[in-house]
Amino acid sequence: MHDIVIRGGTVVDGSGLPAFPADIGITGDVITAIGRIRSEGRREIDARGKIVSPGFIDGHAHVDAQINWDPLGTSSCWQGVTTLVMGNCGFTLAPSRADARGLVVRNLERAEDISAAAMAQGIEWKWETFPEYLDVLDALPKGLNHAVYMGHSALRTWAMGSRAFEEQASDDDMALMLGQLRAGLDAGAIGFSTSRSINHETSDDKPVASRVGDWNEVRALVNSMGGGVFELAISNDMRNLDPDLRRAGTALLKDLAVESGIPLTFGTVMGTVSNPDVWRSHLRLLDETAAAGGVMFGQSHSRDVTVLLSFRSNLPFDKLPLWKQFRAQPLDAQRAQLRDPAIRARLEEEANNGPYGRAIGTEARAPKWQSIYYYDQPLPPHRSIAEIAAERGTSPVATFIDLALESDLECFFQQYIDRFDRDSLEEIMRHPRTIMTFSDTGAHVGQISDCSIFAHMLGYWVRQTGRFTLEEAIRMMTLAPARAWGFADRGLLRPGMKADVVVFDAARISPDMPQVVHDLPGGARRLLQRASGIEAVLVNGSVLMEHGEHSGALPGRLLRRAA
């Protein structure tokens, strides 16, 4: 008898082959039958009229801190995700010496948008070396599967202390880093990650530790790996990172992939409609590396990259003097004052003409209203504030405030960071050497909510536009990432494979609107997002979520790379 039978669904098995009707039998943590199953299971899941697929694999997560206080893996657990790859961009909590944990946190806190105080409350440090860290992760209760890179910034601070933020590594420093990297990989780290991105800075506006190391340091570490995946964060223009990359550009990445034999991956989410040269150069690099004998794959998004704005979180005007005083008040007081014509007029004047940028000692920039959209529904289309203002005959600032008041200050706005036209984004996602997996979940938690790229892929690209078939989309989110990261027993519905399974309604699946919650340690703020249409999520043969509610089980595992 099967422990679970998923009965009567339409199976999209992850291979890209056409869907077919079948039951799925699960015994323990393994799929044991696919077809017509006549016997009853100990538990039956009714999947009639629903799609049954492998669980989605998120290859770019930053839940390294969150896993310590959030075993369920919110918001990913609601999005059909069953496996997360964390430790991206050089940001990990290990290795970490007991007397220098603040240095590790210094690397993380700005990118993750989680304060050092929140991390201090939420993390019980029980490790120093990376193998010890993996053992702690293994023992933590968790709803989802997790694999983890060793991060360069943590490795550098472990070896060098505070010098990691200022100096090049000595021979002794390199020996320490090389030995710890080898130990971590032997213990099951999925690979090694670093950042060369000018966007990654500490809370005091200094480069994170990995950016201080030169390219020879990166090269030596990657060439020592012997296995796993090398992930790096890069800037929009890879030539502006450091002297080596300014001289040689992307050729250094190709050369490293070829000489090391290590698969290299980075995000291809950078670029805009007006400047497509960036992402096109990324796609050319993937092909040129393959032609030279290396392995390189890009990570793509399924939508534009946006920062979410709202009166309950962040606004473009928050650093302006008058707005700073106004925003320090409770929301009820803000609502009342926005309805006072005299106060509102002063706020609008400063929002239109205030001292943005260096004049107030910040990087705050005057809003570009053609790039800020009213986020009134989970899936497109959305309209820009400039467009709505033109229709209403009001200024963009007045329109922004009016829309917020009309929703009782509950609504969100999307400020675009990277804006693609639909054809360009489709070209990126269809490239044979990219994987749609770059959610960044767990990072920028008060500003960005891209955990829902999987539900967006199915709701928008499959159902709403018809540009991808269900079979194509499912393969992009399951088998493709499983193969890229070496999860040989996941990403495909076949007898003998691990039973990570999602049951969803193709006619309803969609992200829900985000929420602002205060559930970080100490009550700090973050964005949370659920999804509609996902009926059940199974991890390792156990039901984790059913109709959006947690079953109480925590069946997730640490996925260690085989040495």
- If asked whether residues 391 and 286 sit together in one domain, one would say no
Q: Dihedrals φ, ψ of 523, to 5°?
A: 85, 15
Contacts of 146 (CB under 8 A, 6+ apart): 63, 67, 83, 84, 85, 86, 137, 556, 557, 558, 559
Cα gap 154→496, rounded to integer Å: 37
Q: What are phi and psi of 45, to 5 degrees?
A: -115, 120
In a domain, 1, yes or no: no
Where helices occur in 407-505 by DSSP H, the ranges are 422-430, 453-456, 470-477, 479-485
Q: What is the pLDDT of residues 349-380, one digit of tens each?
A: 999 999 987 544 445 678 999 999 999 999 99
| pLDDT, tens only, 72-93 | 999 999 999 999 999 999 999 9
In 281-363, DSSP assigns E strands to 296-300, 305-309
528, part of any domain: no
Q: Where would I find the H helices in 362-469? A: 385-392, 396-406, 422-430, 453-456
Cα angle at 228 between 222 and 229, to 5 degrees? 70
Q: What is the mean pLDDT of residues 381-392?
A: 97
For residue 88, with 0-12 CB atoms within 10 Å meaning exposed, 13-18 middle and 19 or more buried, which class applies? Answer: buried
Same domain, 134 and 194: yes
Span 102-116, pLDDT tens digits: 999 988 888 888 999
For 39-158, strand residue ranges (E) read 43-46, 51-54, 56-58, 81-86, 145-151
Q: Of 388, 413, 438, which residue is a domain's last?
A: 413
Does position 274 have pLDDT exceeding 90, yes or no?
A: no
The reply to whether 440 falls in a domain is yes
User: How open is the CA angle 387-392-397, to the nearest 5 degrees?
Assistant: 70
What confidence category does residue 263 fall into, taking pLDDT thresholds of 50, 70 and 90? Answer: very high
439 within domain boundaries: yes
Give the mean model confidence (pLDDT) for residues 214-238.
90
Q: Are residues 237 and 351 in the same domain?
A: no
53-62, 298-307, 465-474: segment of lowest average pLDDT: 298-307
Q: Let me know if residue 531 belongs to a domain.
A: no
Whether residue 162 lies inside any domain: the answer is: yes
The reported pLDDT for the residue numbered 127 is 98
pLDDT of residue 276 exceeding 90, the answer is no
Residue 279 has pLDDT above 90, yes or no: no
Q: What is the pTM of this model?
A: 0.95
Q: Please indicate, yes or no, whether residues 395 and 471 belong to a single structural domain of this protein.
A: no
Query: So what's the pLDDT on residue 359?
Result: 47
253 with 353, same domain: the answer is: no
Q: Verify that 167 and 232 share a domain, yes or no.
A: yes
The whole domain housing 352 covers 326-413
pLDDT of 248 reads: 57
Residue 541 CB coordination number (10 Å)? 19
- Where are the extended beta strands (E) located within 108-190? 145-151
DSSP state letter for 498: B
Q: Is 84 in the same domain as 215?
A: yes
Give me the pLDDT at residue 304, please.
Answer: 84
* CATH number of the domain that residue 139 is part of: 3.20.20.140
Q: What percent of the chain has pLDDT over 70?
A: 95
In this structure, are 85 and 63 located in the same domain?
yes
pLDDT at residue 247 in the model = 55
Judgement on whether residues 64 and 159 belong to the same structural domain of the protein: yes
Q: What is the pLDDT of residue 470?
A: 98
Which whole number is the average pLDDT over 142-163?
Answer: 98
354, 385, 413: which is the final residue of a domain?
413
pLDDT band at 253; cut points 50, 70, 90: very high
**End-to-end CA, the chain:** 35
d(CA 402, CA 218): 51
Residue 249 lies in a domain: yes
Name the pairing type of β-strands 534-539 and 531-532. Answer: unpaired
Specify if 2 maps to a domain: no
355 and 289 together in one domain: no
More confident: 344 or 270: 344
If asked whether residues 276 and 183 sit together in one domain, one would say yes
Task: Indicate if 166 and 225 belong to the same structural domain.
Answer: yes
Q: How many domains does the chain have?
A: 2
* Last residue in a domain, options 487, 510, 534: 487
pLDDT at 383 over 50: yes
Q: What does the mean pLDDT of the chain come to? A: 94
